[in-house]
C-alpha cells in the first residue's frame, strides 16, 4: 500500500480539514459577534446582530462550531459555501470593481483579496458532498443507526 493511497491517512486528513476549517471560520464569527481577536475594527468593536455582517457572524461562529464537531455537516457546509460565494461575488468582486480604474481584472481573487472566501467556498462544497468523515457526530450517528437497523 502506497503512502498516498492509505485509507487511514485519508480519513484522518479529511477530519483534520473539517476541524481546522471550522476553527478558522469560527474566529471570523467571534470577531464580528464577540469583539475578540481585535473585533471588526482592531479595537474590539462588534457588528449589529440584525445586519448582514451580524448574520454572517452567526453563520461563521455557530456554523463553524457545527463543522468542527461534525454535526449536520452536509447541510451546514452547503449553507456556508453559499455564504462564501456571496462574500466573494458581492463583497470582494463588487468592491474591487467599484475601486477599479484601468488596473488588473477585479475578478482575480489575488486582486480583489477574495482568496480565502473562494477557497472556503470550495472546501465547504467538498464537505457538503463528502460528509464529515471520521471523528464526527454525524459519523457516530450513522454508526448507531446502522447497528439498530
Q: Assess contact for 62 and 29: CB atoms under 8 A.
A: yes
> What's the pLDDT at 102?
55
pLDDT tens digits for range 31-71: 999 999 999 999 999 999 999 999 999 999 999 999 999 99
Tell me the pTM. Answer: 0.90
The residues facing 34 across adjacent strands are none
Per-residue pLDDT band at 146 (split at 50, 70, 90)? low
The residues facing 39 across adjacent strands are 45
Angle among Cα 112, 113, 114 to the nearest 5 degrees reads 90
Per-residue pLDDT band at 149 (split at 50, 70, 90)? low
Query: b/e map of 96-134 (b: 16 or more CB within 10 Å)?
Result: beeeeeeeeebeebebbebebbbebbebbbbbbeebbbb
pLDDT tens digits for range 95-112: 888 876 656 778 889 889
- Give domain limits for the chain: 3-134
Nearest to 53 by CA among 25, 77, 29, 81: 29
Helices 7-34 and 115-130 cross at an angle (nearest 10°) of: 130
Whole-number Å distance between alpha carbons of 33 and 35: 6
pLDDT tens digits for range 108-143: 898 899 999 999 999 999 999 999 998 999 999 988
Amino acid at each position: 500500500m502506497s503512502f498516498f493511497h492509505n485509507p487511514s491517512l485519508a480519513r484522518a486528513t479529511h477530519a483534520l480539514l473539517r476541524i481546522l476549517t471550522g476553527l478558522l471560520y469560527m474566529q471570523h464569527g467571534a470577531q464580528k459577534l464577540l469583539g475578540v481577536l481585535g473585533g471588526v475594527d482592531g479595537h474590539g468593536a462588534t457588528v449589529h446582530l440584525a445586519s448582514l455582517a451580524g448574520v454572517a457572524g452567526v453563520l461563521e461562529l455557530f456554523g463553524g462550531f457545527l463543522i468542527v464537531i461534525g454535526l449536520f455537516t452536509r447541510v451546514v457546509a452547503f449553507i456556508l459555501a453559499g455564504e462564501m460565494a456571496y462574500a466573494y461575488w458581492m463583497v470582494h468582486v463588487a468592491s474591487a470593481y467599484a475601486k477599479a480604474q484601468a488596473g488588473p481584472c477585479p475578478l482575480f481573487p489575488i486582486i480583489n483579496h477574495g482568496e480565502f472566501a473562494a477557497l472556503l467556498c470550495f472546501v465547504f462544497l467538498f464537505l457538503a458532498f463528502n460528509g464529515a468523515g471520521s471523528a464526527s457526530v454525524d459519523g457516530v450517528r450513522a454508526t448507531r443507526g446502522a447497528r439498530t437497523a
